Amino acid sequence: MELWGAWDAWVQRLRPACTRRATFEWMRIVLAGLCVRADRAGVTSLVRALALQPRSYLRLLHLFHSEALRLPVLTALWVRFCLEHCSPFQVGDAIVCLADGIKVPKEGKKMPAVKKLHQESTNNSKPEFIDGHSLQAFSLLVRTVGGFVTSVPLAARIHEGVIDSAREARKTLLDRLVELFFELVQPLARRVILVTDAYYASAKMIRPLLAQGHHLVTRVRRNAVAYRPPPVPRPRRRGRPRRYGEKIRLKDLLADTERTFVTALSPVYDEKNVEIAYLVQDLLWRPVGHLVRFVCVRHPRRGDLILMTSDTTLDPLDVISLYGYRFKIEVGFRQAVQVMGTYFYHFWMKTMTPRKRGSATQDIRKRSRVHKERVRRKIRAYHRFVQLGCIAQGLLQLLAIQHRPSVWERFRSWLRTMNPDQPPSELVVAQALRTSLPEFLADTANTHDLTKFLAQIRSRDILRAYEQAA
């Protein structure tokens, strides 16, 4: 009762995203199914997880394609909810967000935005090229009980694969990520430090962020160069003053043994008694045109790397610590794929011309207005599914943080690495919700709307078969 009562109270906060009460009830059914399902076979797994009537399948499909579920409002409500109910990780007065991309394999020949993608990974289980959707995602870094740090997913969107206008054709992945970032931080009304990998170390990222008072922490490639501030000539010469001084290859800073590196204990999480050496240099970076802070790090086990931040007042140890937390979004991706099935949607477009395997970006600028709107409608359905998956994963994380004892009590299973003193994973919380769902629905004193609505749409034949099997 405690877990589902808290879960339902949190979901009620998302009610304004739905224009009709029925839409909200079906959205709540989707979130419940995402939290308790044992497999990840698209919408059919939601029907099986809650023992719904077969006709519910078409109604769930309609929900993802319906404009009654307003995606921008839903995203803004979820971002505001995370800020209110979580303890954001802060550096000074700024909160920390993580951003990265994920490529999801898709084999559908009638799925818009599916294209041939290249995967840069040292993992042998990943093929070099796949057909799929390319998404970019954001998550919020939060502190948990006991000082643990995790990342709560905020949103993810498909940012390439379809060109439907000349304006969209000119946008790069970085431009689209910045647009999504500003859409998410608008409800926050807070200064944000964005942590990304080396792909996003670009002026297209830093300049828009600085214009709004935000900052970027990232890694730069070893072949990057920077410049010292130019010396002021005395007396001043004719012509335009020099903008850049001495050119410096950043990898030379790591190799220079004459420079004084500062030694300190590693601030990276889960590292104890590890001593690192770092060097701080505030240099001019030509893509941006002003000073940025570079932190060259020598790690005894992880090797050397060069970090960069647009905030020249940020402590170098904070820069190293923040970049270490970037791996948290990778952990969130793994949970979303292996446990939640956030990206396992299967919505085909009947009127679409079958695409060829290994095809490139789909250019529909010369297609009819009706066809373009159908493609946009299908992509919005993908986004609604992914957004609800992010919300379901965040709800499980919040239950793990705020109701840890109850989750472990309702888990009623075994793991080799169980530690009841730490917040459990999404897998453990999902199992606890799955175990306590029959008790929640069978409670005669329960007056939740969720219980009443589920009683109307559940299949009695399936429930009777479950009872006989038990």
∠ Cα 97 104 370 (to 5°) = 100
**Lowest-confidence segment of 82-91, 103-112, 314-323, 455-464 by average pLDDT:** 455-464
Which of 128-142, 251-265, 399-413 has the weakest average pLDDT?
251-265
Q: What is the DSSP string of 271-331?
A: --S-EEEEEEEEEEETTTTEEEEEEEEEETTTEEEEEEES-TTS-HHHHHHHHHTTHHHHH
**189 vs 247, more confident:** 247
Using pLDDT thresholds of 50, 70 and 90, give the confidence band for residue 351: confident
User: How far is residue 364's CA from residue 367's CA, in Å, rounded to a whole number?
Assistant: 5
Pick the range with the lowest mean pLDDT from 104-113, 344-353, 399-408, 460-469.
460-469
Write down the pLDDT at residue 315.
Answer: 93
Range scoring the smallest mean pLDDT among 39-48, 62-71, 142-151: 142-151
Give dist(CA 431, CA 412) in Å, integer: 8
Cα separation, 427 vs 47, in Å, equals 20
C-beta of residue 248 within 8 angstroms of C-beta of residue 228: yes
**Pairing state of beta strands 94-105 and 90-91?**
antiparallel
* CA atoms of 96 and 61, how far apart (whole Å): 35
Phi, psi (rounded to 5 degrees) for 457: -110, -5
Is residue 240 predicted with pLDDT exceeding 90? no
pLDDT exceeds 70 at position 393: yes
Residue bearing the bigger pLDDT, 71 or 457: 71
pTM of the model: 0.93
Residue with the two structure tokens 């951003």: 99
Question: What gap in Å lies between CA 343 and CA 219, rounded to an integer?
Answer: 27
Instruction: Report whether the peptide linkage leading into residue 235 is cis, meaning its omega lies within 30 degrees of zero.
Output: yes
Element (H, E) at 226: strand 225-227
Yes or no: say if 163 and 169 are a contact pair by the CB < 8 Å rule.
yes
pLDDT tier, 166 (very low <50, low <70, confident <90, very high otherwise): confident
* Residue 282 reports pLDDT greater than 70: yes
447 confidence band (pLDDT: 50, 70, 90): low
Mean pLDDT over the full length of the chain: 89
- Comparison of pLDDT for 127 and 209, the residue scoring more: 209
What pLDDT shows up at residue 122?
65
Q: What is the mean pLDDT of residues 101-111?
A: 90
Assess whether pLDDT exceeds 60 at residue 268.
Answer: yes
Q: Does 239 or 158 have the greater pLDDT score?
A: 158
Q: Tokens 């308790």 — which residue? A: 36
Cα distance between residue 450 and residue 452, in whole Å: 6
Whether the pLDDT of residue 41 is over 60: the answer is yes
**CA distance linking residue 456 with residue 53, whole number of Å:** 9
